[in-house]
Structure 1
Amino acid sequence: MMEAQESSVQYNRWSNSQDEVSMNMSASGGLDCERICTKLCTGKLGIAMKVAGGIVLFWVIFIIGYVTGYYIHKCK
């Protein structure tokens, strides 16, 4: 499994007239939430989650609109 890593890159072109690039990478063990989010938001699983989320959102808005319309247009 790949773990999320934090990295920083510094570019220094003014020392000794040579280009220097230094990279610092530190592994973060406490980023399980980011790893799960990345897994759920990319690839085929991500597409399926977005489609399912869209369908759920459609039905939530539909039900809210139905209930609101029922009480607004209710005969007294």
Structure 2
Amino acid sequence: MDPNTTGTVQYDRWNEDNINMNVETSQSTMTRLYNRLCVGTTGTVVTIVGALAALVIIYIIGYTTGYYVHRC
């Protein structure tokens, strides 16, 4: 270390060109499926469609239950 450059640290090893940052191949199938369906714009669309489907199913169950309870 040179006495003129006290207090500075050089990170030359981070500037190498042979660093492989391909993380996609090491992910499991479930992680890739989660990233595809639950993150970003697609995740928002899937969430909205799922919420609407749940509301429709709850409405149908409530309607049929109310029909059979109140048909005296």
TM-score grouping bracket, smaller chain normalisation: 0.5 to 0.7
Count of residues in Structure 1 that have an aligned counterpart in Structure 2: 51
Which structure would you say has the larger RCO, counting Cα contacts within 8 Å and 6 or more residues apart? 1
Counterpart among 53, 58, 65 of residue 56 in structure 1: 53
Structure 1, unaligned runs of 5 or more: 5-26
Structure 1 position 34 matched with structure 2 position 10: no
RMSD, aligned CA: 1.9
What is the TM-score when the length of structure 1 is the normalising length?
A: 0.59
Judging by fraction of residues, say which structure has more strand.
1
Counterpart among 59, 64, 69 of residue 67 in structure 1: 64
> Percent of aligned positions with the same letter in both sequences?
35
Deviations 1:12-41 (A, max 9, x none): xxxxxxxxxxxxxxx35xx10221012100
What is the TM-score when the length of structure 2 is the normalising length?
A: 0.62
Instruction: Give the superposition deviation at 1:2.
Output: 4.6
The residue type equivalent to 1:3 in the other structure is E
- CA–CA separation in structure 2 for the residues paired with 1:38 and 1:49: 12
Judging by fraction of residues, say which structure has more helix.
2
